[in-house]
Amino acid sequence: MSKLGIGLAGVGRMGRIHATNLVARCARAGLACVYDADAARAKILASQLDVPVAASFDELLERSEAVAIATPTGTHAELSVTAARAGMPVFCEKPVSLDRATTVATIEAVEATGVVFQVGFHRRFDPDWVAAADRIAAGELGEVTLLRTSLRDMNPPDPAYLAGSGGFFVDVTVHDLDVARWLVGEVVEVSAHGAASDPAFAELGDIDTAVVVLRFANGALGVIDNSRGARYGYECSTEVMGTLATARIDAPHRRGLEWRTPGTASRDLVRDFEERYPHAYAAELDAFAECVRTGAPPRVTGRDALAAFDLAAAADTSWRTGRPVTLSQEVSA
C-alpha cells in the first residue's frame, strides 16, 4: 500500500516530531514536503531528512495529497480552511484556534468541503490510553466515579511561544479536558484555580500551575493538575476509578535500570512529550491516513476539539472570576 504524501507546515518543536515520524515510523503516511515561514529552518530539516522543501503554503498544497499543520495556533484556522478548500485532507495540531468564533467558523468551513479533518489530541492514539478507554467503554470499570489526570512539563516553553499559545488552559489543560470527555463523558461544571510561580507568566497575564475540578453529567468527579515547569521531568499520568476497577497510567521510565543505595531507589524520568509518546504521534498520523483512504470519520474531530476548547474557556473564566462555570453558561476566551 502506498503511503499518503503529507505536506507538513511548521517545523518547530512539534513539526519536527511529525516530520521524523512521517519519515521513519509511520506505515501509512509519508512526508511529501515541508514548509515553514522560517525558510532556513525548513531547508535544514528538509536536508536532514532528505525531503523536498516548499517555498510557500501554495506550493506545499501542489506537492501533497494531504496536509499536517504544526504552525503556531493563531495560524491554524487560515491554513486549515485554505487547504480544505483546495480539496486537501487536513491534520491540524491542537487547538484549532485561539478563540471560539474562529474555531466554529473554521470547523464549519472545513466541514463544508467534505475533507477529512483531524485535530492533534495524540493521547487518543497512545496504546496505554487506548487500552484503558476500550476497557472503560466495555463496562469493565463499572460506573466511573473519579478521574485524576496530570500534565506537567519539565521546563516552560520559549516566551515567544507562550505569547501566541492562547493561555494555559487552552494550550495545556485542553489535552486533559479532551481525555476527560473521551474516558468519562460530558462535563457539566468546571472550577479552576491558577497561579504564576514564575513572574514571567504573571507579566504575560498567564499562569504556570493550575488545578481544575470537573463535574461530569454522569455524576463522576474529576481533578486535573497541570504545570509548565515541574522541573523533575515530564509527567503525563491518568487514573480512572470505577465501582469495579481502577485504571492507572503512570509516567514511564526511560530505561529499565533502577539504582539502589541504602534506603533509596532511583530511576530516570522522561523529559518531554517527544520521549513520552514514541508511538502516539506516529499512530495519529497513520490513523489520519487511514481515514483519508477509507473515508471513515477521524477519531478526533473538529467537534471534539471545539468541546475541549469550550471546557478550557470555562476553566479560564472560572480562574478569572473565582466561580464555578456550568457548561450551559456562555464561555468566553
Ligand X SMILES: NC(=O)c1ccc[n+]([C@@H]2O[C@H](COP(=O)([O-])OP(=O)(O)OC[C@H]3O[C@@H](n4cnc5c(N)ncnc54)[C@H](O)[C@@H]3O)[C@@H](O)[C@H]2O)c1
Q: How far is the CB of 266 from ligand X (least distance, A)?
A: 28
> Binding to ligand X by residue 64, rule CB under 6 A?
no
Cell of 128: 496505554
Candidates 6-14, 25-33, 183-191, 234-242; binding stretch for ligand X (CB under 6 A) = 6-14
Q: Which is nearer to ligand X, 75 or 113 (CB)?
A: 75
Site string for ligand X, 254-273 (x = CB under 6 A): -------------------x
**Vertex 93 angle, CA 90 and 94, to 5°:** 125
8 A C-beta contact, residue 223 and residue 147: yes
Report if residue 278 touches ligand X, rule: CB under 6 A.
no
- d(C-alpha 254, C-alpha 42), whole Å: 30
Q: Out of 20, 21, 64, 71, name the contact with ligand X by CB under 6 A.
A: 71
Buried/exposed code over 164-201 (b: 16+ C-beta within 10 A; e: otherwise): ebbbbbbbbbbbbbbbbbbbbeebebbbbebebeeeeb
Confirm or reject binding of residue 60 to ligand X (CB under 6 A): no
Q: Rule CB under 6 A: is residue 58 a binding residue for ligand X?
A: no
**To which residue does cell 487560515 refer?**
78
What is the spatial distance between Cα 252 and Cα 25, in angstroms, rounded to a whole number? 20
**Residue of the chain from 5, 72, 185, 324 that contacts ligand X (CB under 6 A):** 72
Q: Which stretch binds ligand X (CB under 6 A): 7-15, 221-229, 232-240, 319-327?
A: 7-15
Q: What's the half-sphere exposure (Cβ side, CA atoms, 13 Å) at 307?
A: 17
What burial letters (b/e) apply to 129-145, b meaning 16+ CB within 10 Å?
A: bbebbeebeeeebeebb
Member of 8, 34, 36, 214 binding ligand X (CB under 6 A) = 36
Per CB under 6 A, does 14 bind ligand X? yes
* 284 binds ligand X, rule: CB under 6 A: no
CB 66 within 8 A of CB 5: yes
**Cβ closest to ligand X, residue 36 vs residue 189:** 36
Size of the site for ligand X (CB under 6 A): 24
Contact between 13 and 157 (Cβ < 8 Å): yes
Indicate the residue among 53 and 141 with the shorter CB distance to ligand X: 53
Please give the residue ranges that form the binding site for ligand X (CB under 6 A).
9-15, 35-38, 41, 70-73, 75, 93-94, 120, 122, 161, 171, 273
